[in-house]
A = this chain, B = another copy of it.
């Protein structure tokens, strides 16, 4: 039970770890300092982690990485939106 809680808390923290960054991108409408390469590398990485989680049959690893992937894809959209945007 304790291990389940530790794993779940770890999963929650890292799965939603990119959320504060997204909120900051959204609020400031500035993405100048964000590394697109980090976004891409992490997106590919968590996709493979999901596949590995299926192999281990570990639902925590699968769910955590699928949520991470979703937030990273949203991050891409925000990056694209605000890197192209001109202040008027």
Chain A contact surface mostly? helix
Given A32-B30, A32-B32: A37 touches B20 (CB 8 Å cut-off): yes
The interface size bin for chain A is 35 or more
Q: Do B49 and A10 touch (CB < 8 A)?
A: yes
Inter-chain CA distance A9–B52, complex, in Å, is 10
**Contact at B6–A46, with CB atoms within 8 Å?**
no
CA distance A35 to B17 in the complex (A): 10
CB-CB under 8 A from A21, the residues of chain B are 34-35, 37-38
Which residues of A are interface residues toward B (Cβ below 8 A)? 3, 6-7, 9-14, 16-21, 23-25, 28, 30-35, 37-38, 41-42, 44-46, 48-49, 51-52, 55-56, 58, 60
